[in-house]
Amino acid sequence: MPKKYVVKLKSDERKQLHKLVRNGTGSAKTLTRARILLKADGTPGQPGWTDEAIHDALDISVATIERVRQTYVCHGLDAALKRRARSKERTRRLDGQQEAHLIALACSDPPTGHERWTLRLLADRMVKLEHVEELSHETVRRTLKKLNHYRLKGGRLRSGGLNRRLKALLLKAGGFNHFRLRRLKTSWK
């Protein structure tokens, strides 16, 4: 079956790829992609290897070889050598003040009838207190994981009350003072 995307390198592109492979100055993926393009070059007088031969020689999956060929034909040499940039940018689910509320909530005593805070309980309570419109337990997990200096002890985050780091975080988030922090801790039970 004939290939849908046939690589035909121009002489300057071929020289650039040979120089890149010879110097070994790129990342491993870039060098591998350069080798794929050189082996797959279907220009008369060039190797023009099959995908299976390239797979055997370079120990790369056939799907990767096909993808590199397709990228070269559709988007050019630079796109075939370099990794594609992320298409969508991630936005933060919780801002600093909301994170501070979540941490203070996690440091408080769990609700009655529960021995400890669960991720789902924390997410539900944040929504109930109207700090956020919706919040998944996975976002709570990621946020608490990011703050790994709080260690779990007996089902609660060990904080010794509201410790200095937490106070600083809450105060930095804005709208808090020391009196309000004491009130916050007791109002979330």
Q: Is the pLDDT of residue 61 over 90?
A: yes
Q: How far is CA 105 from the centre of its chain?
A: 27
pLDDT score for 173 = 57
Q: What percent of the chain has pLDDT over 70?
A: 75
pLDDT score for 151 = 47
Rounded to an integer, the average pLDDT of 23-30 is: 88
Rounded to an integer, the average pLDDT of 68-82 is: 91
CA distance 128 to 13: 60
Q: Which helix (H) or strand (E) holds 19?
A: helix 11-23
pTM exceeding 0.75: no
Q: Is the pLDDT of residue 83 over 50?
A: yes
Q: Give the model confidence (pLDDT) of 175-188 as tens digits.
A: 555 545 555 554 44
Report phi then psi at 109, rounded to 5.
-70, 145
Compare 94 and 149 and report the one with higher pLDDT: 94
Rounded to an integer, the average pLDDT of 24-41 is: 90
C-alpha dist (Å) from residue 31 to 6, 23, 34, 35, 74: 20, 10, 5, 6, 20
Give per-residue burial for 168-181: e unless 16+ CB within 10 Å, then b.
ebbeebeebeeeeb
pLDDT score for 35 = 93
